[in-house]
Structure 1
Amino acid sequence: MKRICVYCGSSVGKRPEYIAAAHELADIMLDRGISLVYGGASVGIMGELANRMLASGGEVYGVIPEALMNKEIAHGGLTKLQVVKSMHQRKAVMADLSDGFIALPGGLGTLEEIFEVLTWAQLGFHKKPSALLNVAGYYDQLIGFLDHAVSEEFIKPVHRKLVISDTSPEQIINSMENFTAPTVGKWIDRHET
């Protein structure tokens, strides 16, 4: 893996563990020579992650829509900052630049971004790994919901495996490096899994 896209909050959240996890993830990416692709902001967990990478000489690629340049306060010191017209374009560019995706704690935008790339994987549009970094139990209920959706037969078990989750940034990267996308498409008989 050469570049990982990390989705995360434009705020830091209420727990110091969220920032600590962003720093730990950055350190592991740096140790493995992996570049960061992210939303291009200088604030929140986004800024913490980018600053940690940059402080140690890592490559950081930001992608931000024109409409968010001031709201998210675009980072001025990145390896490259690409300004795009829309959120749709932002997500497409970030996905194209990346070999995999990780969601750190974040809000609605973070959830929307990680679920969009998971949907693309389910539909066979890409074969890149996607992961939830479950810091301080942040994604426990979401992971439980995904398991519930499988038991209710809205998500096939093979597609549930698209969602890597762990509490350890290092284990997340290891799992992503060993990921093999399922070969089963979305539209199989519901009893074939």
Structure 2
Amino acid sequence: MGIGMFMFLFVTAVSIDSFGIGCVLGLKKVRITMKGIALIAMVSGGMFLLSSYFGHILINFVAPEDAEKIGASALIGIGIYFLWQFFKKDKTTTEEVEPWLHPTKVLNDPVAADVDRSGGIRGKEVWLLGAALSLDTIGAGVSGALIGIPTFHTALLITAATFLMLGGGMLSGTKLSDKAESLSILPGVLLIIIGLIKLS
């Protein structure tokens, strides 16, 4: 499989959650400005870029033949974690959790990013949603560097894909929200597939 297809699967895996979250926000009529969506997308791309550089530093301490195996194994581990989070979501209780201290709460309940319940995500809340959406790019960035995925171009693609998916999800909101929630299973599946291909 060519590097182009790997990049496509990789970018899809780390950004498709944005579409589902956008759909939920659209359904709940929680607004985000275009500037806010662009900032969230840049946070995701920036976090991938930063974590990828850590991955490139690690390469200096790992034998070349082992780096790809470690990266692939890490992607599989991240994918399994995503699947566990997806299936765990329906079993968790609705306890009050402070989203500023636990950004992962926003992934399970996107409306929690609207901390002040104003009907719009603005100011610091944009950074909160950006941090939540970029959580998966951190581990993926390190692993992606180890398996040889181009850093800068992938970061740009993640930024663009997150912008389009989050914005598109919000526009789709009421029509696709129920179906889009099931897309949350895709990141884990895709990362596992990429890892298995790289290990084979």
Instruction: Give the TM-score, by structure 1 length.
Output: 0.30
Higher relative contact order (CA 8 A, sep 6+): 2
